[in-house]
Amino acid sequence: MFRILFVIFIFSFNSSLLFSQENCDRVLLQGKVIDTLSPQYFYNFMIVNRTLGKGVFGQPNGSFSLYVHNNDSINISIKSYPIIAFRVVADQNCQFNVKQFIERIPTEIDVVVIHPLKSLQQIKEEREALAMRETRMVTGMASLSSPITALYQAFSKKEQNKAWIAEQEFKDDQRKVVKELLRLYVAYDIIELTEDQFDEFISFLNIDIDFFKTATEMELVTFIKDKYEHFRLLHQLEVNENIAWRNLISKDKKMAITSLLDMYVSNHAFVLPKMEYDRFIQFLGFDVVYLNNTTDLEIFYKVQEKYKNYIEFYKIDVNLAKNNYNISESDNEDWRWDLKHKNKKKAILTLIRLYNDHKVIQVDEKEFDRFIRFVNLKQSFLETAKSEDIINYVRDKYFKYIDFYKD
């Protein structure tokens, strides 16, 4: 009898549980994830309902609460932790509680070699102490008194190897001291090199040992800085080797030089806005014969030299020649308002003053009237043209104005 009652009780309990599960329209899923080794706030913490294809963010303390359906497939995803996957099984109260202990995925960190920086005084002492280990060699008058020894040293592989080893050790010592100096220069932003570039740059330096041992700090930093600039420019040309511009020379010289300038500007050899290209190409004055018979490196140095002269001659601040010279639409409102209200003269004066302030042009205010007459801006053009087109037009007129009125 007792057994029968027990079976009936179990059956009733299971039926009640099954009934409650089947009648749960929504299931309250709630829980918490815990990292016992590293208690911290969890960011990028998401509970994803894969059945519905939806996700919500959990709380930074690891807790979460949301409504789902019974038997939904759930993933708990936290950055740097394994994904936790399970299915929802509702209890009698239409809830499903989760408490999960988690452990962070081990992170592999690359080995970083830290080189402690030496002081200039320490490096100076090391420079002065550089000396090639002496090997016993009989030379000069001593070779006359000991000709057999001199011949042995001259032709003995053993003696030659000893001399070669001593020379290599000396070169290694020299490179180590130069590296220490370069690390110091990099730390103080004198040059920009990675550790991997040191050996290549040291070979490029090819520094004279006597100069390296005796030079002052100023002489050294000047020498290395100058060499670094050449190294950087040569490296840029090699990395970005581009013969496409040469293929254009016979077809379109201007297009070829434009392509060449694009390469230089993209490699940060110098700053030159697009709107300056036409004027600068004229300033260069390169003909087809010169371009075809001159090496890339020679052309590069020539363009650099011309660039400096160009900037100086026209007094151009190219660092401000970006983003339409930082002229916003709000900056244009004043002159556009004057133009709209039929005051063209005031509008143009306001525009020219604006361009002068933003270094689009550099005209003395005493010359504004003459420059405005020279530019001869039409109202229809000002009303319809884009800001960039107006800048280009005024700037082109500015160069012609300089040429026309120059001493």
pLDDT, tens only, 138-159: 444 444 445 545 544 554 555 5
Give this prediction's pTM: 0.34
Buried b (16+ CB within 10 A) or exposed e, 198-213: beebbeebebeeeebb
Distance CA 265, CA 258 (A): 10
pLDDT, tens only, 311-355: 888 777 655 454 456 788 888 888 999 888 888 999 999 999 998
**CB proximity list for 259: less than 8 A, separation 6 or greater:** 242, 244, 245, 248
**CB proximity list for 279: less than 8 A, separation 6 or greater:** 314, 396, 399
CA distances from 77 to 62, 95, 121, 375, 400 (A): 11, 21, 55, 65, 65
Distance CA 273, CA 286 (A): 20
Strands laid side by side in the 95-101 sheet:
63-68, 27-34, 95-101
Q: Which residues does the chain have with pLDDT short of 50?
A: 1-13, 15-20, 109, 112, 114, 132-145, 148, 151-152, 155, 239-241, 320, 322-323
- pLDDT at 11 (0 to 100): 44
Tokens standing for 270? 């110098």
Residue 398 buriedness (CB in 10 A; 0-12 / 13-18 / 19+)? buried
Tell whether domain 21-101 is in CATH 2.60.40.10.
yes
